[in-house]
Amino acid sequence: MTGNIATNRTVLVVGGGISGMTAALEAAECGKEVILVEKLPTLGGRTARLYRYFPKMCHPTCGLEINLRRIKGNRKVQVLTMTEVVAVQGRRGDYRVSLRIAPRHVNENCTACGDCAKAVDAEIPDPFEYGLKTTKAAYLPHAMAYPQRYVLDPSIIGTADAEKAQAACKVGAIDVAMAEETVDINVGAVIWATGWKPYDAEKIQPYGYGRFKNVITSLEFERLADPAGPTGGKLLRPSDGKEARNIAFIQCAGSRDENHLRHCSRICCMASLKQTQYVREACPDGSGKSTIYYIDIRAIDRFEDFYQNVQKDPSVSFVKSKVARIAEGEDGNLVLHGVNTEGYHRYAADHDLVVLAVGMEPEAKGIRLPEDIVTDSSGFIEGSKDEGMFGAGAAASPLDVNRATQSATAAALRAIQVIHKTAATETAA
Amino acid sequence: MTTANQPAAYRNDFLKEVEANVEEGHMVKMCMQCGVCAGSCPLGSHWEHSPQKIFMMIRAGKREEVLTSDAMWMCTSCYNCIARCPRKLPITHIMHGLANYAHRLGLAPKGQPTRDFAVMFWNNLTKTGRVNELKLTLGHYFKDGIGAGIKKGLEMKGVGLGLLKAKRLNPMEILGGHKLQDLAGFHAIVAKAREIEDRRRGLSS
């Protein structure tokens, strides 16, 4: 890492999801030096874990591939994975940033052959699959991981498993002695593209997430629908592995709620509308049924036509109601209790799987941001007082992928302006 | 601004009336009709109108229907709705506020058991400044006549004797019971409080 040459004409991008990659590339393709840091072992963020995008129902792998190609082909972007920002000092045009790089225990010799994974016995909950399945403790984060390099879970370091992995590696890529590093770099502007995290569904006590096996989050449902996911694309419910046929989607699970998240997370309505189409496709015989429980459907912007098409779909029904509570039956089925506010009908509806459309919370809520950063009442990053740091994508506002990339491009432009001003001042001096 | 020429559907006179006269009435307009209060209410199926429906009726100007309803009298103050309301509406308080307002206007349903008991409790309490539990219980038992009262009393005999044994029930209370020392002062306080509240609400006592 000593090869890092960053100056105050460098842009630092924190977070390697779709927003961070976009911001980094936009700045780099304008000729700026960029350092892109990512906490996890791979780029891609939450976008990589989606099965499909709305409204075109295309696969995220496509957009990711384009961005990864751009990164591979651009010498101006330096990617640091497993790296976190620990401190930011200084001001606009002249920041000094401390980075902590966690040991990957696998160096650049790795060819991603997978021999280490075969040799290792220990298994860990697969972080990419939200723990829905386990993976070997020597693993490739996912098929499109960048860098395409294995990683050793810290839990096996110092055990026989680590030695087995090292012995199995034919190219000498495994380095169990690799230690944590701290490096300081100079940068002129910082883009915080730290993204979002799903709201902790266990806090929504009446819905029983964490107590009832067949209550899952919308993100877990994405993994179930993905043919590369833990169930091979079958919508198998967690309690008994039966195929789910009668699925409830509960909107505003955490969002628009003073007891949880104050804001509307914006994407969840479209996400659930999209997921009803997974159900339809998974049951070609027409036996799949989706029911959306909602306060009101917010198909943002131009997506109203997508909503109208789903409304026409006979496999989907809509109940205008915020579900009051969920009870679990003996067969693992779930009974949803509430009142349909269209006509004020009380219901106790039986479903075999419940998907909570969980709200978006800024990931940055869990990390210590520089004091200069200004956030809104929900913790989304608005920028910094000295106007040298910017929020991008879902770190700045609850946004879908499309809008996140727009936001990231805007942040890149503002960072470039800071670099230009710095350069002009330095030349004048 | 509401004018006489405005179509009835757009008038929000009743919402304004509620905001001015009902405890926490200003929060009624915050309801977003999600229905979680109705679904959370343990007595939900026994109500004529659920809370979010009442809030909508207030906004729709259904004054008569709301104030003569017995719905808000059914609230047992379990606070489930307040705990779950995503907009933090103090629903329990509004229900009691509405019930109280309807009672003061004389529109509340006659013979509604909660209302009758509340009146009985208030009269019992304000007489001596102390709740006379024996008289209150007897009053409650005998409200539907002597026969029904004796029947109810016999049903509850075990509980009564138990209380007597545990010295939690004094039979001598029937003679008037314990009371405040300065009873005249207490009555003056209650009268003054009512006068102030009536003035604030623009009601005559």
Stronger pLDDT, B10 or A12, i.e. the higher one? A12
- Number of residues that make up chain A: 429
User: Which pLDDT score, from 0 to 100, does residue A207 have?
Assistant: 97
* Assigned token pair, A134: 């386990």
Count of A-B CB contacts under 8 Å: 65
Q: Which of A256, A320, A324 sits opposite B40 (nearest CB)?
A: A324
What's the number of CA atoms in the CB half-sphere (13 Å) around residue B168? 6
ipTM given for this complex: 0.86
Q: What is the CATH number of domain B8-105?
A: 1.10.1060.10
User: Which pLDDT score, from 0 to 100, does residue A182 have?
Assistant: 95
- Determine how many CB atoms are found less than 10 A away from the CB of residue A411: 32
Q: Which of A256, A259, A341 sits opposite B35 (nearest CB)?
A: A341
Say if residue A173 is exposed, middle or buried (CB neighbours under 10 Å; 0-12, 13-18, 19+): buried
Dihedral of CA atoms A45, A51, A54, A56 in degrees, nearest 10, equals: 120
User: Which pLDDT score, from 0 to 100, does residue B101 have?
Assistant: 93
Beta bridge partners of A384: A373
Residue A112 contacts residue A173 (beta carbons within 8 Å): no
| Interface test mutation site (partner B, options A203, A336, A339, max chain B beta carbons within 10 A) | A339
Mean pLDDT along residues A317-343: 95
Q: Is the pLDDT of residue A4 over 70?
A: no
- The 3-class SS string of chain A reads CCCCCCCCCEEEEECCCHHHHHHHHHHHHCCCEEEEECCCCCCCCCHHHCCCCCCCCCCHHHHHHHHHHHHHCCCCEEEECCEEEEEEEEECCEEEEEEEECCCCECCCCCCCCHHHHHCCCEEECHHHCCCCEEECEECCCCCCCCCCCEECHHHCCCHHHHHHHHHCCCCCECCCCCCEEEEEEECEEEECCCEEECCHHHCHHHCECCECCEEEHHHHHHHHCCCCCCCCCCECCCCCCECCEEEEEEEECCCCCCCCCCCCCCHHHHHHHHHHHHHHHCCCCCCEEEEEECCCCCCHHHHHHHHHHHHCCCEEEEECCCCEEEECCCCCEEEEEEECCCCEEEEEEECEEEEEECEEEHHHHCCCCCCEEECCCCCEEEECCCCEEECHHHCCCCCHHHHHHHHHHHHHHHHHHHHHHHHHHHHC
CATH code 3.50.50.60 region(s) in chain A: 10-102+180-196+361-428, 200-358
CATH architecture of A10-102+180-196+361-428: 3-Layer(bba) Sandwich (3.50)
Which of A416, A426, A411 lies closest to A191 in space, CA to CA? A411
Which of A35, A179, A385 lies closest to A25 in space, CA to CA? A35
Which of B119, B126, B104 lies closest to B200 in space, CA to CA? B104
Q: Which of A206, A322, A325 sits opposite B35 (nearest CB)?
A: A322
pLDDT tens track for A284-308: 999 999 999 999 999 877 789 999 9
Rounded to the nearest 10 degrees, what angle do helices B113-128 and B133-141 cross at?
150
Which of A259, A65, A46, A256 lies closest to B80 in space, CA to CA? A259
Mean pLDDT along residues A21-39: 97
Mean pLDDT along residues B57-77: 94
User: Which pLDDT score, from 0 to 100, does residue A135 have?
Assistant: 96
Mean pLDDT along residues A332-338: 97
- Determine how many CB atoms are found less than 10 A away from the CB of residue A216: 24
Give me the percent of chain A exceeding a pLDDT of 70.
98
User: Which pLDDT score, from 0 to 100, does residue B12 have?
Assistant: 80
Which letter does DSSP use for residue B7 in this model? -
Q: Is the pLDDT of residue A282 over 80?
A: yes
Which of B131, B154, B132 lies closest to B142 in space, CA to CA? B154
User: Which pLDDT score, from 0 to 100, does residue A428 have?
Assistant: 75
User: Which pLDDT score, from 0 to 100, does residue A260 have?
Assistant: 96
Q: Is A348 part of the contact surface with chain B (CB cutoff 8 Å)?
A: no
Mean pLDDT along residues A233-261: 96
User: Which pLDDT score, from 0 to 100, does residue B203 have?
Assistant: 62
Stronger pLDDT, A427 or B199, i.e. the higher one? B199
> In whole numbers, what is the pLDDT of chain B averaged over residues?
90
pLDDT grade for A1, boundaries at 50, 70 and 90: very low
Cβ separation of A339 and B39 shorter than 8 Å? yes
Q: Is the pLDDT of residue B189 over 80?
A: yes
Q: Is A324 part of the contact surface with chain B (CB cutoff 8 Å)?
A: yes
Beta bridge partners of A106: A174
Mean pLDDT along residues A152-170: 95
Domains of chain B by residue range: 8-105, 113-201
Which of A34, A78, A76 lies closest to A190 in space, CA to CA? A34
User: Which pLDDT score, from 0 to 100, does residue A2 have?
Assistant: 41
Cβ separation of A259 and B52 shorter than 8 Å? no
pLDDT grade for A365, boundaries at 50, 70 and 90: confident
Q: Which of A256, A258, A324 sits opposite B39 (nearest CB)?
A: A324
Q: Which of A252, A256, A338 sits opposite B39 (nearest CB)?
A: A338
Question: Domain A200-358 maps to which CATH number in 3.50.50.60, 3.30.420.80, 1.10.3720.10, 3.40.630.30?
Answer: 3.50.50.60
pLDDT tens track for A370-420: 889 999 999 999 999 999 999 999 999 999 999 999 999 999 999 999 999
Identity of residue B67: L
Cβ separation of A206 and B88 shorter than 8 Å? no
Cβ separation of A323 and B39 shorter than 8 Å? yes
| Interface test mutation site (partner A, options B27, B30, B31, B36, max chain A beta carbons within 10 A) | B36
| Interface test mutation site (partner B, options A252, A294, A322, max chain B beta carbons within 10 A) | A322
pLDDT grade for B205, boundaries at 50, 70 and 90: very low
pLDDT grade for B60, boundaries at 50, 70 and 90: very high
Residue A18 contacts residue A67 (beta carbons within 8 Å): yes
CA distance A145 to A326: 38
Q: Is the pLDDT of residue A6 over 60?
A: yes
* Assigned token pair, A107: 């160096």
Q: Is the pLDDT of residue A424 over 80?
A: yes
Strands A246-253 and A289-294: parallel
pLDDT grade for A134, boundaries at 50, 70 and 90: very high
> In whole numbers, what is the pLDDT of chain A averaged over residues?
94
In A, residues 368-397, which contact B (CB 8 Å cutoff)?
none
CA distance A26 to A11: 11
* Assigned token pair, A142: 């996912």
